[in-house]
Structure 1
């Protein structure tokens, strides 16, 4: 039954309770998913990230359920809770790329997104790719994933070894703010990625390349090509 899987199962109930706990509230969830979806937005009408919670929870539970049934996966409640918060943060940033709140901060406390006023973002704003200045080359980077656990937005330094790099300074643009932060400051780099990031930083320094973050809407073509690259 859908209501048991998504709402009344002990794992699901714990997940809902922990998430809404960031807002310091307690509530009795509706009997089934359709009722929950119809009432959810009214609970926190001024919260831009609140409306993403049901989708992030339902999708994460459904994917985990399929992994357990079809791929002999195992239930890890801590990982599930983290996955939901990661998905929630990523979806929010994708919707509001001008939000200045860091992804890792949103993962730690999704309610921080309430500090961002989505109503102040102009609906008519258009994002587009901008050409580099004279004597500069620009490389737009994007990542894509084909299985659980792969990191998007990180690459090795082979792209910096192209012949045209010596003909002008290089600007590298990525919509992965976390990846750009890791390159510019390696303090928060996870241990298992430290060697990869060091390789990238070394190559970037040698080429005197400029690495900067851009909103995903500026990088849609690179995003499309990255997805096509993994089929």
Structure 2
């Protein structure tokens, strides 16, 4: 039984890490507001009342996954982001490896999602993504500028505007008014991809739970934007219906 429980802790912990590495604890209340508003608007919420044989503690599951990752060494930026969001201190070697990766690439990466992931990783190590991987009198690279002036966001997959928005929302950055992509422009791009049923897909076609959830995550920080707020309510409604179907 102990092995089964440990396995459940580990699997749940990895799932939690995947969520908090993107959502973060600071965005959780903002995301909750959509669900609360859905209830007040008259949308039904159902829950399984059957008693569970075992209750898995989220904190224990997170601890189990974190210790597993730290023991084996941080192997990816997403692991690092998840550890930082969960309150763990990252190994010094990870920051050095991250700096080397940015320096070796001379601050240039293939896609906006690469920039977004690295920005979130830079934030995870407590550094400034507008001036990262410099040395001495040599300034670092402005990875935020690489995002808001990126040429390939529109007309691409939903991941591009979603992760770009998450990255720009990761700190208080000065985004010039003439930038190719501001938060409002990214929100508009995301909303243009919402399906009639309220969900989202990676490209086109039927709505998908994972893409709807990540779009909702990006919109959660902008609930004061009426269009983003309405889209968030519709996304919550779709997710609720998809879960029950």
- Specify the TM-score bucket, using the shorter chain as the normaliser: under 0.3
Higher share in strand: 1
Q: TM-score, normalised on structure 2?
A: 0.23
Q: TM-score, normalised on structure 1?
A: 0.24
